[in-house]
Chain A
Amino acid sequence: MSRVRDALTAKRFFVTGATGFLGTALVERILRCVPESEVVLLIRPGRRTSPMQRATKEILKNDCFDRLREEFGDRFDAEMTARITAVGGDVATDGLGLDDDGLEALSRCDIVIHSAASVSFDSPLDSAVEVNLLGPSRVAQAYVAARDLAESDGRVGPRHFIPVSTAYVASTHQGEAKEELLSANPFTLDVDWRHEVTAARRQRGDTEAESRRPERLQAFHKEARNELGGAGLHLLAERAERLREDWVKKQMVEIGQARAISLGWPDAYPYTKALGERALVEQFGTTVPITVVRPSIIESALAEPRPGWIRGFRMAEPIIISYARGLLKEFPGVPEGVTDVIPVDLVVAAIIAVAGDALASASEFEAGDSSAEYAGPSVVHVASGVRNPFRYGKLVELVTEWFKEHPVYDQDGQPIVVPEWSFPGRGRVQRQLTRASKAMGMAERVVGSLPIRGRQAEWMAALEERHLLADRALGYVELYGAYTETEARYRVDRLLALSDRMDDEDRMLFCIDPAAIDWPTYVREIHLPSIIEHARVRTTPGKAIRTDRAERARKNILSPDRHLAAFDLENTLIASNVVDAYAWLATRHLPPAERSAFIADLVAEGPQLLSLDRRDRGDFLRTFYQRYDGAPAARLRDDGWDLFHHLLLAKSFPAGIARVREHRALGHRTILITGALDFVVEPFRPLFDEIVCARMDERPDGTFTGRLIDLPPIGEARALVLADYADAEGLRLDESMAYADSASDLPLLEAVGFPVAVNPEAKLAAIARRRGWHVETWHKAKGGAQPPLPLGPFDRPGSARRGRTAPAALAGQARRLRATLTAGPTPREIR
C-alpha cells in the first residue's frame, strides 16, 4: 500500500515547461515511478519541428532518460510513444494556443502542472510578465475550459492544479517566511497586477520608440563601425540593428529590475512570479483546486535519475566556474548566512507528492473523511534552509578545498590557483569588477586602435574574451548577490506534514525531506564533479593540442572538392599597402635632394592617412589615388614591375603565395580582389585566373587623371564581384575560400563557405575567434631586404632609366594634394 503512488497510478498529467531543467526531470520521474501514468506535454512548436519532434529531441534524448532507457530496453520507444502526447501551445498566448485536440487532451488529464517559466533572472520585463505573471492564470483558464469540456462529455476532467513558483516570491526580508499565500504575507506590497501588465507592455513600446530616435540610431551605427570598421553598409546596418535590439532588451531588463527592487524583490523573476501567484489566486482561487509549489534555488540531482544530473547552466554554475578559472576572485555573501539550495529530484518528488496527496485526499473526502476536505489554495515550500541549513561560509570552504584538489587548467596546461575568499560586501566586489572591466575596456580600445595584426591581434581577441567573462562575472554579482546575501528562512512545515502523510514505500520512491541531504557529500561528490564535466573546462595538465584543429581546417580548405579561392592582396599576400607602393613609385626617379622632403611630408601625413583609411576605405583610395594625377602612365606601368621585384616580392608572404599555387594545383580557380591599382598588381597575374583591381583613367597625352574608372573593389563590392564571378563560371561560393586580413573584408569572408583570416587585425581576429574561422599566420621571408622606408632605388646620374621628363611629377603632386586633403572637403561631403 502506497498512498501517493496508488493515488496516481494510471493517471494522466498535463505538464508545461517540460523542456526545462525541472520539467525534464519531472516527466522522467512520472514515467519511471508512477505506474501506467501518461503525460501530455504543452510544447511550443519549433519553426520546422512538430511538438512531438521537439519532445523527442529535447526531452527524450537528454541523458536524464538514460536510466529509463536502460530499464525499458527495446521497449523504450514504444513505451514512450504510448505514454507521451505532445500538444502545441504557448503559455505566453491566451488560451495557451491550444487547438481542439489539445484542449481535448487536457480535458482527459487528472493533474495539471505548470512549470514553464522565464527563469532567467535577467529577462526583459515584458517577456517575464507575459510568461511568469500571466502564464499561471492562462493555464488555469485552459484548465477550466478543459474541465467544462470533460463535464459536457460526462467525464470528470482535471482535478488539481499545481503551479510551480519560487520561494523568493515571499521576498528576501529577514526572518522566517511561512508557507502561505501572498495575500496573507505582511511583507509584500499589494500592487495591482493588471496595472503592472499594462505598464510593462507600454514600457516595451516606449523603449522601442526611444531606440529609434536619430541620436540613438547614430550611436548604434557608430558603435557598429567601431566594431567592424569599414565592413560595408549592409553588414554595418545588420550589426547596428542587432545593437539596437540588444539595447532595447537591456533597457527592458533594467526597467524590470528597477521596478522589482522598488517593490521589494531582488529582481524581475520573483516579482513577476509573485504577481503571477496573486493573479492566479485572485481569478481562480475559488474555482480551481490549487497547490502552489515554491522551490528555492534548484541545483543538480541528489540521486534521481542519477546523482549530479543537471540540465543547462543555471545560477550557481557559472559563478563557480568563473571562480575556478580565477576570473571571479570573490563573491559577496555573509559566511553565517544560509544558502538555500535544493536538489532537483527533491522538487520533482514534492510536486508528485502534492499531486498524489491531493487525489488521495479527494478520494478520502469522498469516502467520508471530512478532515481531508480541500480548504482552498495552499502553498508548499521546497527549501533546505530551515530543516537542513547550509551556511554560505561552509559552501565556500567546500568549493575552495575541492578546487585546490581538482584544479582547472589554463590554456598552457598550468593549474589555476583559486583565490582565498574574504567575504566582502556586494558593493566592494561590484566596484572591483567594474574597475577591472573598465580597465580592460580601455586597454581594448587602445590596443584596438593600434595597427597590430597576426599573433598580437589574436592576443587582443583573447583580451576581449576575458573582458566579456569579467563583464559576465559582474553581471552575476549584480544579479545573484542578493540571493547569497539573503537572510530569509523558508519554513517547510507543510512539506514535512506531507512527508508525514506518506508511508515508507512512498518516501522511498519520492523523497522530499531536505534532511536527506549531506551537504559536504553533495557538494564534493555530486554537484562539483557534475558541473565541471558540463563546463568543459580543462581538467588535465599539459599543453593543449590545438594544431589538430588548424590542420583539419587546412585539409578541408585544400580539398579537391572546393571550387574557388579568393584572395585579398595587401597584408594577405604581401606586407605592403597602397601608400608603400605610391611612395616607392614616387621616389623611383626622384633626385636625392628632394627625397628627404618627400619622406618628411609622407611621414607627417601618416596619421591622417591612417584615420581616413579607417573611416572609409573607398574615400581613402579615391582621395589617395588623386596623387597620381599627371603621372606618366607608360612609365608607371614600367616601374610597376620594378616595384614588384624590389619591394612587393621582398615583402610578400611566401607561404601565402605557395597557398595560391596550391589551390591552382588542386584545380581550384583563384581570384585576386584588391583595391590596388592595375599596374601594381599586373606582375601577380600568373598566380590568378582573374584579377579584379582598381583602374585609373588616362588622358590622351598619356598621363593619369588620378580618378578611378569604376568603383574600387572594396567592402561589399568584393562580395558582389566574387558572387558575379562564381555565378558566371558556375562555381559555388559555399564550396569556396576567401583569404583576407581585415574586418573591412567581412562581406567577402562571409560570402564563402570557408573564410580564412590571414594575419588578422584586431577586429577580425576577434570575429574569427568567435566564429571559429580558420586563421593563418604568414610571415615575410626573413632573408629578404627589409628597407625601413618603401623608397625606390636611387638611379645614378647618367642612368639610362632615369626619367628625363618631369622626374618629380609624382612628388610635386603629393605636396599639392596634401594641401587639398587638409583644406579640402571632409569625407562625408565628398560622399
Chain B
Amino acid sequence: MSARPGFVLEVDRSTPPTLFWRGERFTLEKLPEGSRVIYAPEPHEPLDDPLAAIRHALANPLGDSEPLSALLFPGMKLTIAFDDISLPLPPMERPDIRQMVIEQVLDLAAEAGVDDVELVVALALHRRMTEPELRHAIGDRVYDAFAPNGLLTQHDAEDRDNLLHLGQTDEGEDVEINKRAATSDLLVYVNINLVAMDGGHKSVATGLSSYKSLRHHHNPETMRKSKSFMDQHRSELHSANWRMGRLIRDAGIKVFQIETTLNTDTFPDAFSYLQKREWEWKAKDRIGFLGAKAALDRMPARYARRLFHSVKAPHRMTSVQAGEVEAVHKVTTENVWAQQGVVVEGQTDILTLGLPYISPYNVNSILNPILVACLGLGYFFNLYRNKPLVREGGVLIMTHPTPWEFNPVHHPSYIDFFEQVLSETTDPSEVASRFEEGFATDPWYIHLYRTGHAYHGVHPFYMWYWCAHALQHLGAVIIVGGDPKSVHRLGFRSATTLADALEMARDVVGSSPTLTHLHAPPILMADVQ
C-alpha cells in the first residue's frame, strides 16, 4: 500500500479544530472558515533491509566514484565524519542510521586492512556531544572501540593546529577545514538528510569548517538571497557551499559521500495522533490527546520538556546512496522531496505555525527565545520552494510560550546575545556589523565551546541571520501565548489567544485575509505554485 500524499485542507463548518504545538504543550484551535491547513505526506514505506541497502549503496556508488571497498587499502589514512546531535529530529530510535552505516564502513575497512581510522563528529560551531549522545548515535560497539583510544574526536573549529586552510573560492571565500579530514586518503561522510538543505557539499564545507570559512555564507546577506535555503536552485547558501565543496574536491581531497533519507514517521505510537489529520482521529487518539494534554498542562514545563526529549522518533530509512557528492545529493534531494513535498496553490496573507519543543540546536535542552525565533522564521518559514507560503508583507503567527529561559551549559552566549545585543537592535545587518566579531572571538565562549558542551559564541548570530529572509519579507510577526517580555525583546508582537492575534494581523493585511496553517511536524515542504 503506498502512502497518501500531502494534502491541503480547506476549513469548513464541519472541520474539527486543528492541533497547534505550543512548545512542550499543545492546544486545539478553531481556524476561520476558508483557512487552509497543509498536512505532510504520510510516512513512506521504509527499506525492508536497511543493512543490505547500505551494503548495496557502498558497492554501487553514484557518479564518478569507485565502490568503497576499492577505495580502501592497507596503510591508508581513513577518516569517517558524521552528522552531530542536530540530526535527525527528534533523535531516532536505536539503531541510529549513523551506527548502521559506520559499522558497515568499518567492516569494509577492516577487510581491506586499514589501520589508521578516525571518527570525527562534524560539529562545525555546534556544541560537543556528550558520551550518552555519542553512544546513541554510533552505538556502544563503535564508541568503545574508538573513544578510549582517542580515535573518536569532535571537530574543534578553534583548534588552530588541526585546521587546514585550503585556499579561497573565486568569490574570495576562505575554505578551511579539519586537518585530519583534509589530509586523509579518504574522507567518508555519513549524512542523515532530514531536509533538503542537508548534505551535499555542505556536509564537509560547513560541518568540518571554522568561523573563518563559515562567515562567508552564514551572514544576513546570504540568507536574504536564499529563497529558500531548502531550494538549491534559489539558495545562495547552497551556491556558496558548492563553490567551497568544489574547491575541496579540486584540492585533491577524496570524499566518499553517504546520504540517507528518512520517512515522516515522527512520533511513537503513544503520540501517533500528533501526525494524523484531526478529522481522522479515532477514539484512542482522542483519549490519548486529552490525557496527554491534561497531564502536560498540569506538569511543570521542565518535566514536560524532559519527557518530550526522552521521546525517540520511529522514523526509518527510506533510501541510502553513496559515491560522488553531487550525484549522491541529487538523488537524495529527490527522495526528500518525494516524502515531504506538498503542492500548494498560491500564497497566503497570514501563515500560522504551532512551534514544537525541538529545533536542531536544543536537543536535550530548552528552546530559548532566540531558537523560537529561528525555528519559526528560520526553519518553518523556509520550508518552501518557488514562493514563500506567506505573501510579502504578510503576517506570521506562531504559538509558543517563549519563556525567558536559557540553558547556561549549551547556550551561554545566547544569554548575553539576548541581554546585550537584541536589547540594542534586532536588525540582522546591524547585529552583524556591531556585535558579531566580539562574540565570535570572545575567549570565554571559545573556552566553553572547546572544553564543554556550549555552542560557539557566534552561534546565536547565525540563528538570527537565519531569520533575516523572513524578517525582510514579513509585515509582522506575532507570538501567541508567549512571555510578553521575551517576545518584545525579539521585536515581535505578543497576543494571548489566536483570535487576538488574527485581529492584530488584520491591521496589517486587511480585513478579510487568507490564512494558511502549516501542520508541522511532521516536516513538509510546500511547493507554492
Binding site for B on A (CB under 8 A): 641, 644-646, 649-650, 652, 654, 657-658, 661, 683, 686-687, 780-786, 795-796, 798-801
User: How far is A782 from B452 in the complex, measured between Cα atoms in Å?
Assistant: 19
Residues of A within 8 A of B405 (CB): 781-783
- In this assembly, does B232 line the interface, its C-beta being within 8 Å of a C-beta of chain A? no
Q: Which one of A649, A652, A658, A780 has the highest number of Cβ atoms from chain B below 10 Å of its Cβ?
A: A649
Let me know if A686 and B444 touch, CB within 8 A.
yes
Instruction: List 15 A–B pairs whose Cβ atoms lie within 8 Å, in order of A's numbering.
Output: A644-B452, A645-B451, A645-B452, A649-B452, A657-B412, A658-B420, A661-B442, A781-B406, A781-B415, A782-B403, A783-B403, A784-B408, A796-B135, A798-B140, A800-B148
Residues of B within 8 A of A801 (CB): 131
Let me know if B447 and A649 touch, CB within 8 A.
no
Binding site for A on B (CB under 8 A): 131-132, 135, 140, 143-144, 147-148, 302, 365-366, 368, 403-409, 411-412, 415-416, 419-420, 442-444, 447-448, 451-453
Let me know if A658 and B416 touch, CB within 8 A.
yes
Nearest CB on A from B71, distance (A): 30
Let me know if B147 and A800 touch, CB within 8 A.
yes
Knowing A654-B406, A661-B444, A800-B148, the reply to whether A649 touches B412 (Cβ < 8 A) is yes
Residues of B within 8 A of A661 (CB): 442, 444
Partner among B131, B148, B419, B453 whose Cβ is within 8 Å of the Cβ of A658: B419
When C-beta atoms are compared, the residue in chain A nearest to B447 turns out to be A686
Residues of B within 8 A of A654 (CB): 406, 408, 412, 415-416
User: How far is A799 from B453 in the complex, measured between Cα atoms in Å?
Assistant: 19
Residues of B within 8 A of A683 (CB): 447, 451-452
Nearest CB on A from B410, distance (A): 9
Let me know if B407 and A783 touch, CB within 8 A.
yes
Residues of B within 8 A of A786 (CB): 302
Q: Which one of B144, B405, B409, B419 has the highest number of Cβ atoms from chain A below 10 Å of its Cβ?
A: B409
Residues of A within 8 A of B366 (CB): 783
Q: How many A-B pairs with Cβ below 8 Å?
A: 75
Nearest CB on B from A683, distance (A): 7
Residues of B within 8 A of A645 (CB): 409, 448, 451-453
Residues of B within 8 A of A785 (CB): 407, 409
When C-beta atoms are compared, the residue in chain B nearest to A780 turns out to be B408
Residues of B within 8 A of A800 (CB): 143-144, 147-148
Chain A facing B: main interface SS: loop
When C-beta atoms are compared, the residue in chain A nearest to B365 turns out to be A783
Known: A654-B406, A661-B442. 9 other contacts (CB 8 A): A646-B409, A649-B409, A652-B408, A780-B408, A784-B406, A785-B407, A796-B132, A800-B144, A800-B147
Nearest CB on B from A824, distance (A): 38
Knowing A644-B452, A683-B451, A786-B302, the reply to whether A798 touches B144 (Cβ < 8 A) is yes
Residues of A within 8 A of B140 (CB): 798
Let me know if A650 and B415 touch, CB within 8 A.
no
Residues of B within 8 A of A784 (CB): 406-409
Residues of B within 8 A of A646 (CB): 409
Partner among A641, A783, A798 whose Cβ is within 8 Å of the Cβ of B368: A783
List the 9 closest A-B pairs by CB distance, nearest first. Answer: A783-B405, A800-B148, A645-B452, A783-B366, A781-B408, A782-B405, A686-B447, A654-B415, A783-B406
Knowing A645-B452, A654-B412, A800-B144, the reply to whether A782 touches B404 (Cβ < 8 A) is yes
Let me know if B131 and A649 touch, CB within 8 A.
no
Knowing A798-B144, A800-B147, A800-B148, the reply to whether A782 touches B451 (Cβ < 8 A) is no
Residues of B within 8 A of A783 (CB): 365-366, 368, 403, 405-408, 411
User: How far is A658 from B413 in the complex, measured between Cα atoms in Å?
Assistant: 10
Nearest CB on A from B325, distance (A): 33
Residues of A within 8 A of B406 (CB): 654, 781-784
When C-beta atoms are compared, the residue in chain B nearest to A784 turns out to be B408
User: How far is A418 from B365 in the complex, measured between Cα atoms in Å?
Assistant: 54
Partner among B148, B302, B403, B444 whose Cβ is within 8 Å of the Cβ of A687: B444
User: How far is A683 from B412 in the complex, measured between Cα atoms in Å?
Assistant: 15
Residues of B within 8 A of A658 (CB): 415-416, 419-420
Residues of B within 8 A of A687 (CB): 444
Nearest CB on B from A211, distance (A): 52
User: How far is A686 from B148 in the complex, measured between Cα atoms in Å?
Assistant: 28
Residues of B within 8 A of A652 (CB): 408
Residues of A within 8 A of B407 (CB): 650, 781, 783-785
Nearest CB on B from A338, distance (A): 61
Nearest CB on A from B460, distance (A): 13
Residues of A within 8 A of B448 (CB): 645, 649
Knowing A654-B415, A798-B144, A800-B148, the reply to whether A649 touches B451 (Cβ < 8 A) is no
Residues of A within 8 A of B408 (CB): 649-650, 652, 654, 780-781, 783-784
User: How far is A829 from B148 in the complex, measured between Cα atoms in Å?
Assistant: 48
Residues of B within 8 A of A798 (CB): 140, 144
User: How far is A782 from B411 in the complex, measured between Cα atoms in Å?
Assistant: 12
User: How far is A212 from B14 in the complex, measured between Cα atoms in Å?
Assistant: 93
User: How far is A683 from B302 in the complex, measured between Cα atoms in Å?
Assistant: 28
Nearest CB on A from B518, distance (A): 26
Let me know if A686 and B412 touch, CB within 8 A.
no
User: How far is A676 from B131 in the complex, measured between Cα atoms in Å?
Assistant: 27
User: How far is A499 from B147 in the complex, measured between Cα atoms in Å?
Assistant: 107
When C-beta atoms are compared, the residue in chain B nearest to A653 turns out to be B408
Let me know if A799 and B131 touch, CB within 8 A.
yes
Residues of A within 8 A of B403 (CB): 782-783
User: How far is A795 from B147 in the complex, measured between Cα atoms in Å?
Assistant: 14
Residues of A within 8 A of B416 (CB): 654, 658
User: How far is A17 from B444 in the complex, measured between Cα atoms in Å?
Assistant: 64
Q: Which one of B365, B444, B451 has the highest number of Cβ atoms from chain A below 10 Å of its Cβ?
A: B444
Residues of A within 8 A of B368 (CB): 783
User: How far is A248 from B366 in the complex, measured between Cα atoms in Å?
Assistant: 61
User: How far is A795 from B130 in the complex, measured between Cα atoms in Å?
Assistant: 12
Residues of B within 8 A of A649 (CB): 408-409, 412, 448, 452
When C-beta atoms are compared, the residue in chain A nearest to B364 turns out to be A785
Nearest CB on B from A123, distance (A): 55
User: How far is A503 from B144 in the complex, measured between Cα atoms in Å?
Assistant: 114
Nearest CB on A from B456, distance (A): 15
Nearest CB on B from A731, distance (A): 22
Nearest CB on A from B196, distance (A): 30
Q: Which one of A683, A781, A798 has the highest number of Cβ atoms from chain B below 10 Å of its Cβ?
A: A781
Nearest CB on A from B248, distance (A): 32
When C-beta atoms are compared, the residue in chain A nearest to B420 turns out to be A658
Residues of A within 8 A of B148 (CB): 800
Nearest CB on A from B142, distance (A): 12
Residues of A within 8 A of B451 (CB): 641, 645, 683
Residues of A within 8 A of B419 (CB): 658
Nearest CB on B from A571, distance (A): 16
Let me know if B409 and A686 touch, CB within 8 A.
no
Q: Which one of A641, A646, A795, A799 has the highest number of Cβ atoms from chain B below 10 Å of its Cβ?
A: A799
Residues of A within 8 A of B411 (CB): 783
Q: Which one of B144, B365, B416 has the highest number of Cβ atoms from chain A below 10 Å of its Cβ?
A: B416
Nearest CB on B from A592, distance (A): 15
Residues of A within 8 A of B404 (CB): 782
User: How far is A798 from B140 in the complex, measured between Cα atoms in Å?
Assistant: 9
Nearest CB on A from B468, distance (A): 25
Nearest CB on B from A664, distance (A): 9
User: How far is A800 from B143 in the complex, measured between Cα atoms in Å?
Assistant: 9
When C-beta atoms are compared, the residue in chain B nearest to A801 turns out to be B131
User: How far is A617 from B366 in the complex, measured between Cα atoms in Å?
Assistant: 37
When C-beta atoms are compared, the residue in chain A nearest to B453 turns out to be A645
User: How far is A785 from B365 in the complex, measured between Cα atoms in Å?
Assistant: 8
Residues of A within 8 A of B147 (CB): 800
Let me know if B409 and A650 touch, CB within 8 A.
yes
User: How far is A650 from B147 in the complex, measured between Cα atoms in Å?
Assistant: 26
Nearest CB on A from B510, distance (A): 38
User: How far is A511 from B413 in the complex, measured between Cα atoms in Å?
Assistant: 76
When C-beta atoms are compared, the residue in chain B nearest to A645 turns out to be B452
User: How far is A445 from B173 in the complex, measured between Cα atoms in Å?
Assistant: 68
Nearest CB on B from A464, distance (A): 33
User: How far is A521 from B442 in the complex, measured between Cα atoms in Å?
Assistant: 70
